[in-house]
Structure 1
């Protein structure tokens, strides 16, 4: 029985760090294991220009504890007023690695997102020309569409027409949650998809059965079991289309355990242990390095990390139930089963 696993140091291709005291509190949880991360730009106010991205990167690096090695990969928040020339300059300088599309109202701090795609056509054409990826939160927000159907409807009514209208645009379908998302990600070129840690573990029953569990509530919301199984198959398939984006999203407990609780699961602390356990459950530990360490850099056209990490298997690992930050306590994702793998 395998007791150790060494792999290239992983990257997180979808991460929320927030800002200020929260940033200072949660950044070490990612930097402990991950070499790089695509940093989400949905701050208040959002990161919409190259200057904003540079200032945010500087705040992240200033918050990094001494002795930790971590590279934030910056993104811009796409708005109907985004300037194509600014996007080009930020990308060509090496500062910005992607642009993030939030349909207006889709998730936390997304009210400034795109409603009229004709207004961002010039930006998308520039991105296609220079090969800059567009990271997409793939849900429609129209009230007549059921929340569990938002991803599938988005693929048919928004994503596919957008890609047809912008040939050559490189697209990352972020945090896919459905078998339709898996199938579409496999259907074309210049297309990839991230899968979160928590969507490999939970389905919608985990949120709703036996009482509402606010720390399992996320957006996109977890779906039926058939979709969770489709995600696990994709993540462990060895297909380079799919790679890890944790979407680790810290909120203080007071805002999660609330009459209108915030969406997000905080998984940065124990993601590698959870992933090793899940991949071992399905007999696919040999596929974990591809999913966590190799496929993402290939799509983003970045070198893989030279450093390695080693996971060891033993007695169940005890992770803290909460991370204390200057903004308040943040509950760590509980997968609901023992974790026997830990990063050495």
Structure 2
């Protein structure tokens, strides 16, 4: 078995620096699965957008009541109502960063950014206050496969204008995005999802006469086999600029079966396990060398590099133990009444197991 050397190995708890926990019934359903994935630190997103400090604090309170054993790193949504004064207030309240979505590029981004120049005073204050700018790196495009690449000049421009501003390019999906982040200075990093370590365009768009799987459809969309390999190799490279942000996005089953399906892949209950599965699969394919997948690589990508970039500590100092025990990913997650149902990524397939120490 590839990666057998990790059977029973103890690791620091994982951290997920981009996850959607929703509100209402969906929040109640999925928030309790965070620790199932070996994770005790997350940066949550929300609809409607969190545009005030008080809204962020209220949301933190709701999440904390559901799962008090998780650290929630709160952020604001970049919106015309955000001012330099908002940034100062956010820093005082312990908010970590501001998330930017270009208008219309993905689910629930209708109030996103149209013109970055109008936010330059906000970015200047973020530099002074040392808050992180989290970028959904896409531009509206006729071809959704090029939306991320079309955004990269914007990344370079913001980094050049605000060299001390810590920037994260969220959920990289292409070799071009990986190289862009590498070419920037130390204040620019990126997250990589678990599902993009598996998926290519054929999975969501279909091939020949076979329809794609709507549960594999997300934005940014999965791209070419070469892009997938670039992501996998980067995640396993030990490069401290890249760390886990699952972008786990639960949608009710019916929303995923509509045409077009809601954009989002649900991975939260298996965040750590799916990364281990991907690394193991990479070794089987000969894409990764087993000796290069070290304990240090796992610790870094699964949480260490992200915590260092965010400058946060795991105050609980918790550990997880990983192993292969013939566990399978659940077919569906649903509440007691069956009113809310979510289908996890790679449903029914075997996966690694995670136990808390």
Q: Same fold (TM over 0.5)?
A: yes
Preserved contact between residue 293 and residue 304 of structure 1 (Cα < 8 Å):
no
Q: Shift in Å at residue 16 of structure 1? A: 0.2
Preserved contact between residue 276 and residue 285 of structure 1 (Cα < 8 Å):
no
Preserved contact between residue 201 and residue 335 of structure 1 (Cα < 8 Å):
no
Q: 1:59 aligns with which of 59, 62, 66?
A: 62
Report the counterpart of residue 25 of structure 1 in structure 2.
Answer: 29
2-structure distance, mates of 1:55, 1:271: 26
Tell me the TM-score normalised to structure 1 length. 0.93
Q: Map 1:247-326 to 2 at 5 A.
A: 247-280=247-280, 281=283, 282=288, 283=290, 284-286=293-295, 287-304=297-314, 306-314=317-325, 316-325=326-335
String of CA shifts for 1:312-334, please: whole Å, max 9, x gaps.
123x2122111103751100100
2-structure distance, mates of 1:312, 1:180: 34
Q: Shift in Å at residue 300 of structure 1? A: 0.4
Preserved contact between residue 243 and residue 296 of structure 1 (Cα < 8 Å):
yes
Report the counterpart of residue 330 of structure 1 in structure 2.
Answer: 342
String of CA shifts for 1:102-124, please: whole Å, max 9, x gaps.
00011111111110122211110
Is 1:90–2:90 an aligned residue pair?
yes
Q: Once superposed, what is the RMSD of the aligned Cα atoms?
A: 1.6
2-structure distance, mates of 1:335, 1:123: 42
Report the counterpart of residue 162 of structure 1 in structure 2.
Answer: 158
Q: Shift in Å at residue 217 of structure 1? A: 0.2
1-structure distance, mates of 2:348, 2:139: 30
2-structure distance, mates of 1:319, 1:166: 43
1-structure distance, mates of 2:31, 2:193: 18
Report the counterpart of residue 131 of structure 1 in structure 2.
Answer: 130
1-structure distance, mates of 2:92, 2:240: 25
Helix, strand or coil at the partner of 1:233? helix
String of CA shifts for 1:177-202, please: whole Å, max 9, x gaps.
00011101111220000000000011
Tell me the TM-score normalised to structure 2 length. 0.90
Preserved contact between residue 217 and residue 264 of structure 1 (Cα < 8 Å):
yes
Preserved contact between residue 80 and residue 113 of structure 1 (Cα < 8 Å):
no
Q: Shift in Å at residue 168 of structure 1? A: 1.2
2-structure distance, mates of 1:320, 1:53: 31
Preserved contact between residue 53 and residue 93 of structure 2 (Cα < 8 Å):
no
Provide structure 1 residue ranges, at least 5 long, that are not aligned to the other structure: none
1-structure distance, mates of 2:333, 2:188: 35
Structure-2 change in CA distance of 1:50 and 1:300 (3 Å) = same
1-structure distance, mates of 2:347, 2:236: 18
2-structure distance, mates of 1:289, 1:202: 23
Helix, strand or coil at the partner of 1:202? coil
Report the counterpart of residue 113 of structure 1 in structure 2.
Answer: 112
String of CA shifts for 1:262-301, please: whole Å, max 9, x gaps.
0000001122222112223332152111100200000001
Structure-2 change in CA distance of 1:335 and 1:153 (3 Å) = farther
Report the counterpart of residue 222 of structure 2 in structure 1.
Answer: 222
Q: Map 1:232-251 to 2 at 5 A.
A: 232-251=232-251
Report the counterpart of residue 195 of structure 1 in structure 2.
Answer: 192
Helix, strand or coil at the partner of 2:350? coil
Helix, strand or coil at the partner of 1:186? helix
Helix, strand or coil at the partner of 1:35? strand
2-structure distance, mates of 1:246, 1:293: 12
Preserved contact between residue 7 and residue 308 of structure 1 (Cα < 8 Å):
yes
Q: Map 1:3-82 to 2 at 5 A.
A: 3-32=7-36, 33-41=38-46, 43-44=47-48, 46-64=49-67, 69-82=69-82
Preserved contact between residue 49 and residue 87 of structure 1 (Cα < 8 Å):
no
2-structure distance, mates of 1:176, 1:83: 28
Helix, strand or coil at the partner of 2:168? strand
Helix, strand or coil at the partner of 1:270? helix
